């Protein structure tokens, strides 16, 4: 593919090499997303084999996501400076090696350290793959199609992870779930140099390490605090972590404004398309994660499905994202972003509202969940595709990696907020409901455990006489369904508000195929450097 020059009226179209390169990039994205979820099913076996403490168990689960989220911006900037392909290939090699260490860990400490290394190297994947897509696909419609494929790979990875993990655990040892990505990363190392272009900022200066540290600590503090609140409620430590994260974030912004070569140009937030898309992306993920948190428990603890079967019921949602991401290129270049964002979030609101009809028992629950998840996914897929394109396309070519990092960090923060806020709201509704409906003759020591979580209530019920235990189960499940209904209503209202805000904020931004002089800033196109 020839570089685009200032005299080129029509951007060059991608060749077969770029499409093969996209297939390689989507495989890397698939593995990255799978590793965010694949560990969950292995936790019971790991607990038995390695006997971790409760704190160690939490770190096994969270350390990968924590480090990925907090390093995305820094890794995106590093790729802009040293070369995006070079960073991706180096990260792939490190990810494969650390995955092997995790698979053969002989202690809890070793597994936590291995997962931390996987998070560090995994953080190179998202910003490198997406920024390379902007380098490889200069034609706007082809680029939108490529972004849709990339988003579909993430959606598929998140859904396939638990399913594939469950299959492996049926036949192999727990460490096998970490080896899924090793052959894929090996394929990336073989095909990457042949199919992927290199891009770096020719005028890049040395990475500002204090800024990188500030970015890492700010995002890590905020996400850690939000997840701790979601798990244990309000407490001093997570509140201090969140406030400290925001304080460090303010210092980070101040430093970027006064550096000759900042990690990210914070003046990008003055661009309405950039800031509105970033906020819509965050709130869209907030809605998805918030409702899915309760649906996973409903499938297993209310309907009694096994973890593997419950994971299979998440596949329709992934299919909805894949279909929606395929449709997105056909509409993004026809209609204004305000219309796509507004209608997409409104559709997601309708899907979320359907969950208000979720029953306590019966096959109707599965039908409602399937319908709701598909509608939500179909609504959000074009929103996320367009938001990603607007976020990265608003940045100059030399900062595409950093802008990608900001886009993915926005998604991580949206997920953490969804778990923390909607999770806390749902827990409060559950506790209030079960407190009013538990039978009076339940032992005092069991009441607190039953009021804590639905899982705790089912455990308490198992130790009680049959009639009393069934009454506890019924009370807990009704309270839990009430919590789902309330959370669904809150999420639906939030999605509608987001739809209105996004439509208003993007009102003057033209459709992607319209001339740039109709609405201010033109989308920036990344120009590949000579290899």
Sequential DSSP letters for 252-266: HHHHHHT-SS-SS-G
Residue 130: partners with Cβ closer than 8 Å, 6 or more residues away: 147, 150, 388, 392, 404, 407, 408
Q: What is the mean pLDDT of the chain?
A: 80
Q: Are 487 and 425 in contact (CB under 8 A)?
A: yes
Task: Report the C-alpha gap between 59 and 63 in whole angstroms.
Answer: 5
Task: Report the C-alpha gap between 251 and 260 in whole angstroms.
Answer: 16
| Per-residue pLDDT, 360 | 76
| Per-residue pLDDT, 511 | 66
| Per-residue pLDDT, 528 | 35
| Per-residue pLDDT, 54 | 64
The DSSP secondary structure of 427-486, one letter per residue, reads HHHHHHHHHHHS-TTS-HHHHHHHHH-HHHHHHHHHTS-HHHHHHHHHHHHHHHHHHHHH
Q: Are 224 and 66 in contact (CB under 8 A)?
A: yes
Tokens matching residue 278: 């970033």
- Token match 């770096």: residue? 200
| Most confident segment among 124-128, 162-166, 438-442 | 124-128
| Per-residue pLDDT, 305 | 79
Residues 292-312 have pLDDT tens digits of: 767 877 887 888 877 778 778
Stronger pLDDT, 259 or 36, i.e. the higher one = 259
Rounded to an integer, the average pLDDT of 32-37 is 74
pTM of the model as a whole: 0.74
What is the percentage of the chain residues whose pLDDT exceeds 90?
A: 10
For residue 101, pLDDT over 50 is answered with yes
Give the number of other Cβ atoms within 10 Å of residue 101's Cβ. Answer: 17
Q: What is the separation of C-alpha 73 from the centre of its chain, rounded to a whole number of angstroms?
A: 15
| Per-residue pLDDT, 304 | 81
Q: Are 403 and 76 in contact (CB under 8 A)?
A: yes
| Per-residue pLDDT, 415 | 77
3-state secondary structure 176-212: HHHCCHHHHHHHHHHHHHHHCCCCCCCCCCCCCHHHH
| Per-residue pLDDT, 514 | 45
| Per-residue pLDDT, 165 | 76
In the chain, count H helices and then E strands: 20, 0
Angle (deg, nearest 10), helices 423-437 and 209-232: 10
Stronger pLDDT, 112 or 445, i.e. the higher one = 112
| Per-residue pLDDT, 526 | 35
| Per-residue pLDDT, 40 | 67
For residue 477, pLDDT over 80 is answered with yes
Residues 320-354 have pLDDT tens digits of: 888 888 888 778 777 888 888 899 999 999 999 99
Residues 185-231 have pLDDT tens digits of: 888 888 888 888 887 766 666 777 888 888 888 888 887 887 777 66
CA dihedral 178, 180, 184, 185 (to 10 degrees): 0
Q: Are 201 and 398 in contact (CB under 8 A)?
A: yes
Rounded to an integer, the average pLDDT of 471-496 is 88
For the chain, which residues make up each domain, given as ranges?
Answer: 8-200, 208-262
- CATH code linked to domain 8-200: 1.20.1250.20
With b for 16 or more beta-carbon neighbours within 10 A and e for fewer, the 416-426 pattern comes to bbbbbbbbbbb
Q: Which of 40-44, 57-61, 118-122 has the lowest mean pLDDT?
A: 40-44
| Most confident segment among 126-135, 158-167, 177-186, 459-468 | 177-186
For residue 98, pLDDT over 90 is answered with yes
Q: Are 399 and 528 in contact (CB under 8 A)?
A: no
Residues 390-429 have pLDDT tens digits of: 887 777 776 777 777 777 778 777 877 777 778 778 878 8
| Per-residue pLDDT, 97 | 93
Rounded to an integer, the average pLDDT of 509-515 is 59
| Per-residue pLDDT, 298 | 84
Task: Report the C-alpha gap between 103 and 174 in whole angstroms.
Answer: 8
Stronger pLDDT, 280 or 453, i.e. the higher one = 280
Which DSSP letter does residue 506 get? T
What is the percentage of the chain residues whose pLDDT exceeds 70?
A: 89
Element at 29 (helix H, strand E): helix 16-37
For residue 2, pLDDT over 50 is answered with no
Tokens matching residue 126: 């998202």
Stronger pLDDT, 379 or 12, i.e. the higher one = 379
Residue 444, class by beta-carbon neighbours within 10 Å (0-12 exposed, 13-18 middle, 19+ buried)?
exposed
């Amino acid at each position: 593919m020839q570089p685009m020059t200032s005299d080129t009226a029509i951007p060059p179209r991608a060749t077969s090499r770029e499409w093969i390169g996209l297939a390689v990039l989507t495989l890397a994205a698939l593995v990255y997303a799978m590793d965010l979820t694949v560990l969950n099913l292995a936790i019971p076996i790991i607990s038995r084999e390695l006997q971790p403490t409760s704190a160690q168990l939490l770190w096994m689960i969270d350390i990968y996501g924590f480090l990925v989220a907090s390093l995305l911006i820094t890794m995106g900037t590093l790729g802009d400076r040293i070369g995006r392909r070079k960073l991706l290939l180096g990260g792939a090699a490190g990810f494969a090696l650390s995955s092997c260490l995790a698979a053969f860990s002989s202690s809890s400490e070793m597994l936590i350290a291995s997962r931390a290394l996987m998070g560090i190297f995994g953080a190179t994947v998202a910003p490198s793959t997406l920024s390379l897509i902007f380098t490889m696909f200069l034609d706007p419609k082809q680029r939108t199609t490529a972004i849709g494929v990339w988003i579909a790979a993430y959606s598929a990875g998140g859904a396939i992870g638990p399913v594939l993990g469950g299959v492996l655990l049926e036949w192999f040892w727990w460490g096998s779930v970490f080896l899924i990505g090793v052959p894929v990363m090996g394929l990336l190392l073989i095909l990457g140099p042949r199919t992927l272009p290199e891009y770096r900022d020719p005028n890049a200066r040395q990475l500002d390490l204090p800024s990188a540290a500030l970015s890492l600590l700010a995002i890590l503090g905020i996400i850690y605090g939000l997840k701790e609140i979601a798990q244990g409620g309000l407490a001093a430590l997570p509140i201090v972590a969140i406030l400290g994260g925001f304080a460090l974030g303010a210092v980070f912004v101040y430093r970027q404004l006064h550096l000759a070569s900042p990690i990210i140009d914070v003046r990008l937030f003055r661009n309405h398309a950039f800031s509105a898309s970033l906020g819509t992306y965050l709130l869209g993920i907030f809605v998805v994660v918030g409702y899915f948190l309760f649906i996973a428990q409903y499938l297993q603890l209310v309907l009694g499905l096994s973890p593997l079967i419950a994971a299979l019921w998440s596949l329709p949602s992934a299919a909805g994202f894949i279909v929606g991401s395929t449709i997105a290129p056909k509409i993004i270049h026809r209609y204004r972003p305000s219309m796509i964002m507004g209608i997409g979030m409104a559709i997601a609101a309708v899907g979320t509202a359907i969950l208000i009809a979720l029953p306590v028992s019966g096959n109707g629950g599965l039908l409602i969940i399937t319908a709701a998840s598909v509608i939500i996914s179909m609504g959000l897929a074009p929103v996320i595709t367009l938001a990603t394109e607007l976020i990265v396309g608003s940045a100059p070519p030399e900062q595409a990696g950093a802008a990608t990092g900001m886009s993915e960090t926005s998604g991580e923060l949206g997920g953490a907020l969804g778990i923390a806020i909607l999770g806390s709201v749902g827990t409060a509704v559950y506790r209030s409901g079960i407190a009013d409906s538990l039978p009076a003759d339940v032992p005092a020591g069991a009441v607190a455990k039953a009021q804590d979580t639905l899982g705790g209530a089912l455990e308490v019920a198992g130790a009680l006489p049959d009639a009393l235990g069934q009454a506890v189960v019924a009370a807990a499940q009704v309270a839990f369904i009430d919590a789902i209904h309330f959370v669904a209503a809150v999420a639906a209202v939030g999605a509608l508000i987001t739809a209105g805000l996004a439509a208003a904020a993007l009102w003057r931004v033209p459709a992607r195929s319209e001339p740039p002089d109709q609405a201010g800033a033109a989308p920036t196109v990344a120009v590949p450097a000579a290899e």
